[in-house]
Chain A
Amino acid sequence: MDLFGIPAPLLFGQLLLGLINGAFYALLSLGLAVIFGMLNVINFTHGAQFMMGAFVAWMLLNWLGIGYWGALILAPIIVGITGIILERLMIAKLYKLDHLYGLLLTFGLGLIIEGLFRNEFGSSGLPYRIPAELTGAWDLGFMFMPVYRGWVVVVAFVMCLATWLVIEKTKIGSYLRAATENPALVQAFGINVPRMMTLTYGAGVALAAFAGVLAAPIYSVNPQMGSNLIIIVFAVVVIGGMGSILGSVLTGFGLGVIEGLTKVFYPEASSTVIFVVMAIVLLARPAGLFGRS
């Protein structure tokens, strides 16, 4: 069976790969958007924190014998706590300064964390097995779908939806939205805004670590896995609009698919297509597709 002159398995295979990449783009840019909205900090440590999530999953397994399912819950909590400490000790000191300082600090921290892991674990990558429950593949008729990849797409989507629901439909979410607009007034109503900022940073970092655990069985666990991804994720954030929750999710999945399709139709452009889209969007809508200027 051919579609547009392309064998269907190839087309759908690339579409699926695109969706999986898109799932990671969405989860990571979502965390960045939540952090930027509340803290006004562009968190360049995000890629390193994604990598930490994968490494903590590996450590839990190899040092403590805690498997994938435990890691999926524990690794985000552990990495989230390191985020909270980072925010309290360093990032919180920069809120009154220009964006640029937060960017420099988090970029530097990302490099340091990546370097520490490279020193300790080398750069060749560590294996992490797909959990037994999620091995194998489904025969969909037109292609084979590895169960784990299907799981990643679904769980990433559910996580994005849950985050969106918390922000748009709950009391905590209304504090978050209000504090994004006018933190001083929200604090003058008796809400501890500095603590909210700390917890928001922790939650955004935990989302990155969650994505890291999901990624561990797909990509090998290595110190560079975050920095490879994060550049594209920043392009996604710019395209979606800085600080827009829904925008970052839709853009993440959408660009993953566009990237996958480009691999089918014009493979030479597949690694640059997202940046071409970014340039076009910036020219037409500098605030991003979903951003408020």
Chain B
Amino acid sequence: MVEPMLSVKGLEAWYGESHVLHGVDIHINQGEVVTLLGRNGAGKTSTLRAIMGLTGRRAGSIKFNGDELVAARSDLIARKGIAYCPEERGIFASLDVTENLLLPPQIAPGGMSVDEIYTLFPNLKERARSPGTKLSGGEQQMLAIGRILRTGAKLLLLDEPSEGLAPVIVQQIGLTVRELKKRGFTVLLVEQNFRFAQTVADRHYVMDHGVVVDHVANHELAGAMDRLHQYLGV
């Protein structure tokens, strides 16, 4: 059996005194697109942030390509080849679009070129000199995704890329995620938008109260609808 690219076991995490993850188990194979579904506060974002080293104390195990990362600092985690696109997008107001795009350093060969990123997101090219935060929500999302494609990171952690965007933009983000999969990226996606998730993902984990409570392959989704509706409360 092939080792998963990312293997998270018994992951616990804290923000200060508050215990937010209570033993999360997930794994992602090379080339997969996997979502974390769940209600607000279920621990999805915390899971991404814990993998990236952005929570407080962590315990358990986060193995990435065989390296244990549960105690590593976030810059060293990034250098191993994991890139993070935060929910709030994290576009820098004091940097223009090009500077935002070029900010994350290259950590491995094989990243996309700036031209390829502009082909994927033509809007960004037109706005190259605008301050990052003068972009529309959709453009900011494209910039937030675009800038982590250059770095050579192979595992992308995307936190709710569809949030707050018009349906046509959500569609474009969906196309992008499928394109990224085609190019060999591995993606862990946090989503609340169930319909969006099922158009892009291979598998889904469902989280509640800081643990994974269910696991569904995308092709079994139809049969699992009742169960999922209960978890997600939709």
Contacts and interface: CB of A to CB of B under 8 A. Distances in A.
A190 B153 CA distance: 11
Given A187-B73, A188-B52, A188-B84, A182 B92 contact: yes
Interface string B49-60: 000111000000
Interface stretch (A2-10, A150-158, A170-178): A170-178
A190 B54 CA distance: 12
A185 interface: yes
A180 interface: yes
A230 B86 CA distance: 41
> Interface centre among A174, A187, A188, by most B CB within 10 Å?
A188
A189 B53 CA distance: 11
Interface in B13-70: 52-54
Contact of A191 (B75, B93, B94): B75
A135 to B, nearest CB: 43
B100 to A, nearest CB: 8
A20 B93 CA distance: 35
Contacts of A232: none
B102 to A, nearest CB: 7
Interface residues of A, number: 18
Interface string A142-179: 00000000000000000000000000000100110110
B92 A178 contact: yes
The secondary structure that dominates the A interface is helix
Contacts of A171: 102
A186 interface: yes
Interface in B137-170: 148, 151
Contacts of B83: 189
A190 B90 contact: no
Contacts of A271: none
Given A177-B92, A178-B92, A181-B94, A188 B75 contact: yes
B74 interface: yes
A162 B102 CA distance: 22
A290 B94 CA distance: 14
A192 B75 contact: yes
B90 A182 contact: yes
Contacts of B105: 189-191
A175 B73 contact: no
Contacts of A182: 90, 92
Contacts of A180: 94
Interface residues of B, number: 25
A175 B103 contact: yes
Nearest to A182: B90
Interface string B70-84: 000111011100011
Interface in B77-120: 77-79, 83-84, 86, 90, 92-95, 99, 102-105, 107
B79 A178 contact: no
A19 B117 CA distance: 49
Contact of B74 (A174, A175, A187): A187
A134 B193 CA distance: 71
Contacts of B78: 187-190
B94 A188 contact: no
Contacts of A175: 103
A182 B151 CA distance: 19
Contact of B103 (A174, A184, A192, A193): A174
A191 B95 CA distance: 16
Given A188-B53, A188-B54, A189-B104, A178 B75 contact: no
A190 B92 contact: no
Contact of A188 (B74, B95, B102): B74
Closest 6 CB pairs of A and B: A190-B78, A189-B104, A177-B94, A188-B74, A185-B90, A178-B92
Given A174-B103, A188-B77, A189-B78, 20 more contacts: A171-B102, A174-B102, A175-B103, A177-B95, A178-B92, A180-B94, A181-B93, A182-B92, A184-B54, A185-B86, A186-B103, A188-B54, A188-B75, A188-B78, A189-B83, A190-B75, A190-B78, A190-B107, A190-B151, A192-B75
Interface of A: 171, 174-175, 177-178, 180-182, 184-193
